[in-house]
Amino acid sequence: KAGVTQTPRYLIKTRGQQVTLSCSPISGHRSVSWYQQTPGQGLQFLFEYFSETQRNKGNFPGRFSGRQFSNSRSEMNVSTLELGDSALYLCASSYTNKEYEQYFGPGTRLTVT
């Protein structure tokens, strides 16, 4: 069974630009969560989607948004990039009935210059 996949794996953007990251969950998983990982802050929750609906949202500004498609694939978008947005963005998926067991993808390394 294929794991969680994320594209692209690496991305370099300049301040002010916007970026879209993609996540394909494990087949059968309907819940997708996004996290930002930085050395200083660790893993911080961005948002969670289930059946195309955002169920939970972390404490990030409105520049961070996401969506989920009918096939459970998810995208997150960051607009007006800032230097502080440089981080590893991780996506995690889980089963409907075992929502706590999250399986992570390899992440997208975003560098903002």
Partner 1 sequence: GESVGLHLPTLSVQEGDNSIINCAYSNSASDYFIWYKQESGKGPQFIIDIRSNMDKRQGQRVTVLLNKTVKHLSLQIAATQPGDSAVYFCAENTGNQFYFGTGTSLTVIP
Instruction: Return the number of the residue (41 or 70) whose C-beta is nearest partner 1.
Output: 41
CB of 9 to partner 1, least distance (A): 9
Whether residue 15 contacts residue 113, with contact meaning beta carbons closer than 8 Å, is answered with: yes
Q: Which stretches of the chain bind partner 1, using CB under 8 A? A: 4, 33, 35, 40-45, 48, 56, 58-59, 90, 92, 100-107
Residue placing its CB nearer to partner 1 in the complex, 97 or 100: 100
Residue 53 or 70: the one with the smaller Cβ distance to partner 1 is 53
Tokens linked to 83: 């230097």
Which residue carries 């309907």 as its tokens? 30
Q: How far is CA 21 from CA 1, 88, 99, in A?
A: 22, 11, 22
Minimum distance between the CB of residue 46 and partner 1, rounded to whole angstroms? 10
Give the CA count within 13 Å in the CB-facing half-sphere of 73. Answer: 9
CB of 106 to partner 1, least distance (A): 5
